Amino acid sequence: MDKKNIDWSNIGFGYIKTDKRYVSNYSNGKWDDGQIIDDDMITMSECACVLQYAQTIFEGLKAYTTKDGHIVVFRPDLNAERLANSAKRMEMPVFPVEKFIDSIEQVVRANEAYVPPYGTGASLYLRPYMFGINPVIGVKPADEFQYRVFTTPVGPYFKGGAKPLTIKISDFDRAAPKGTGYIKAGLNYAMSLHAIVTAHNEGFDENMYLDAATRTKVEETGGANFLFVTKDNKIVTPKSDSILPSITRRSLMTVAKDYLGLEVEEREVYLDEVKDFAECGLCGTAAVISPVGKINNHGEEICFPSGMDEMGPVTKKLYDTLTGIQMGRIEAPEGWIKTID
Ligand SMILES: *Cc1c(COP(=O)(O)O)cnc(C)c1O
């Protein structure tokens, strides 16, 4: 298939409309068959539950071209499972795993011309989401829902190499104990907007959120999990019920253990001990790992030995191995790569 005439290596991280999207509707207690459509606009009641009470959840994953020319997606079964967990917490119907995988295959095939070629660093970002669409004014869940998947080509996250980030300890909280921090819901992002704008205005790239109950333990950023490397090369990631279980982070922990032979630990991480780590990174689908060089705690700086010029050596190995697996340069664990074509 002919690819679209796009300067793949130079597109950024904005929304670019593609030709096709997938839609499925839920009413009378069941999902319809779902279909690929052209229309990118959604018409709904002014009183739709999503508009009034933010009943909406989403996922994010990427399709890309491997070294040998296949179009693949990375561990979509985990996105399906996470969307199901989000739906349960938000009183929404589960979109079945098989239907989810099918929707991903259909939408990628329909937008094949937008899947960037191998070697450009670009990929086709896939955004599955679901929202309550019927009118609701007394507070209760919707009973009609729409599930959609749109796609948008995104450029290499780090143009010209990954520069370490400077982040701040946020004075705002992201998620409450027993709240919704562990699901991928729009509401978690709505309340993070003021915090991120504040951080940016102060010259920081990101926020580090602490646990809301004691403000002594590391949770995550607005959209990425933390991964630390100890001075003796152990990988440590914070454990908490209010962290969103990042698929990238979970995959990196497996890569660290099974491919790099490193010790891995998921445990509570106190802010007090962060100064003792050798490296720090943020994990998520968008960048895989963004290195953190510096953390500002109300004026007091924690500077990692890896510095502000490049990724730390262990972070780099993790990054190279996982992206190698994704791009088909390194053999993947069973079931990690789903081929579409
Ligand atoms: C999506 C998300 C992540 C990253 O998850 P991945 O599955 O690795 O993309 C981390 N934290 C939050 C809050 C998120 O919403």
Measured in angstroms, how far is the CA atom of residue 224 from the centroid of ligand 1? 5
Q: How many angstroms separate the Cα of 148 from the Cα of each of 60, 99, 108, 321? A: 12, 12, 13, 32
Report yes or no on 58 lying in a domain.
Answer: yes
Please give the mean pLDDT across all residues of the chain.
Answer: 96
Q: In this structure, what CATH number is given to the domain that contains residue 303?
A: 3.20.10.10
CATH at 91? 3.30.470.10
What is the spatial distance between Cα 132 and Cα 144, in angstroms, rounded to a whole number?
6
Q: How far apart (Å, rounded) are the C-alpha atoms in residues 257 and 318?
A: 10
Q: What pLDDT, on the 0 to 100 scale, is given for residue 267?
A: 98
Asked if the model's pLDDT at residue 108 lies above 70, the reply is yes
Residue-wise DSSP of 139-171 = SS--S-EEEEEEEEEE--SSTTS-PPEEEEE-S
Q: Is the CB of 60 under 6 A from ligand 1?
A: yes
Q: Is residue 313 in a domain?
A: yes
> 55 CB less than 6 Å from ligand 1?
no
150 shares a domain with 169: no
Residue 157 pLDDT: 77
Where in the sequence is the domain holding 186, given as residue range(s)? Answer: 165-326
- In this prediction, residue 160 carries a pLDDT of 66
pLDDT for the residue numbered 1: 73
Calpha distance 159→227 (Å, rounded)? 22
- Is 135 a domain residue? yes
Whether 227 shows a pLDDT value over 70: the answer reads yes
The ligand 1 atom at the shortest distance from the C-alpha of residue 184 is 15
The answer on 174 and 77 residing in a single domain is: no
pLDDT, average across residues 91-115: 98
How many angstroms does the Cα of residue 150 sit away from the middle of ligand 1?
A: 18
The answer on 90 and 65 residing in a single domain is: yes
How many structural domains is the chain composed of?
2
In a domain, 219, yes or no: yes
Identify the residue whose C-alpha is closest to ligand 1 atom 15: 223
Q: Is the pLDDT of residue 305 over 70?
A: yes
Same domain membership, residue 138 and residue 257 = no
| pLDDT tens digits, one per residue of 200-225 | 999 999 999 999 999 999 999 999 99
| pLDDT digit string, tens, across residues 119-168 | 999 999 999 999 999 999 999 999 999 999 999 999 877 776 789 999 99
188 and 279 co-located in one domain: yes
Listed residues 154, 173, 206: the one ending a domain:
154
- Could you tell me if 179 and 309 lie in one domain? yes
Q: Do 70 and 196 lie in a common domain?
A: no
**CB-based contact 164:293 (threshold 8 Å):** yes
Nearest-angstrom CA–CA distance, 37 and 22: 6
If asked whether residues 148 and 169 sit together in one domain, one would say no
